[in-house]
Amino acid sequence: MPVLAPSWKKYEDDMKSSNSKKAMEAGDLFIKERDWETKHSNELKEWEKGRKESIAKNKPAWVKQQLSKEKQESAKELKKFKTAGNIDYKIKPTRGYLLIKIFKQEEKTKSGLLLVSNESIPNEIADIIEVGGDLILEKNIVPTPCKVGDRVLLKKMAGLEVTSYGEDLRLCLFSDVLAILEE
């Protein structure tokens, strides 16, 4: 006995409608009904599988090439997205910027328990790794507030996080530095 076309076929014409709202609603209903029916009927699952295989076989070569190209490009974009902020270059900040490494200060009790601050986002302490040149603003020169090796107190949430050669660093503005800390 041949398998009848599934009920979701009735939405295909509406999905091609020039009325975008009608087309979107038909598409949503199509997907919902198709998923439910293929989940609950092995015959319809096989019918849908055969339909997809037939469409894949009948695609012109140029369509297959375009799809392959798009898949490769999206894989590259996804890789960039996953590795955003990871830079395997030496970072040299430009005028007005500092390259810093956040100083992780942990307080422990004598028994070794880690103490957590009451403050949800504390001001941060950082070590200066690299310094950009003096900032020039409308004929005024703003000198570098610190030098390489200084430990500074920063504003809360200061800087842009970057990872260079696996090391977590930040780029921040001169104005993010509140104080130079001395021992």
Residues 45 and 125 in one domain: no
* Domain count within the chain: 2
What's the whole-number mean pLDDT along residues 137-141? 84
Q: How many residues does the chain have?
A: 183
Q: Which of 164, 167, 175, 156 is nearest to 98 (CA)?
A: 175
Residues 166 and 94 in one domain: yes
Residues 77 and 96 in one domain: no
Is residue 52 a part of any domain in this protein?
yes
> Phi, psi at residue 137, to the nearest 5°?
-125, 110
Q: What does the mean pLDDT of the chain come to?
A: 80
Residues 55 and 93 in one domain: no
Domain with 114 in it: 89-181
Q: Which of 125, 123, 120 is nearest to 103 (CA)?
A: 125
**Percent of the chain residues past pLDDT 70, beyond the cut:** 82
Instruction: For residues 129 and 127, give the distance between their C-alpha atoms in angstroms, rounded to a whole number.
Output: 6
The model's pTM is 0.48
Q: Would you place residue 83 in the very low, low, confident or very high pLDDT band (cuts 50, 70, 90)? A: low
CATH number of the structural domain spanning residue 177: 2.30.33.40
**Domain closes at, from 51, 82, 113:** 82
Per residue in 34-54, pLDDT tens? 788 888 888 888 887 887 888
Instruction: For residues 153 and 125, give the distance between their C-alpha atoms in angstroms, rounded to a whole number.
Output: 5
Residues 109 and 161 in one domain: yes
Q: Are 171 and 159 in contact (CB under 8 A)?
A: yes
What's the whole-number mean pLDDT along residues 110-126? 68
Is residue 1 a part of any domain in this protein?
no
Residues 39 and 57 in one domain: yes
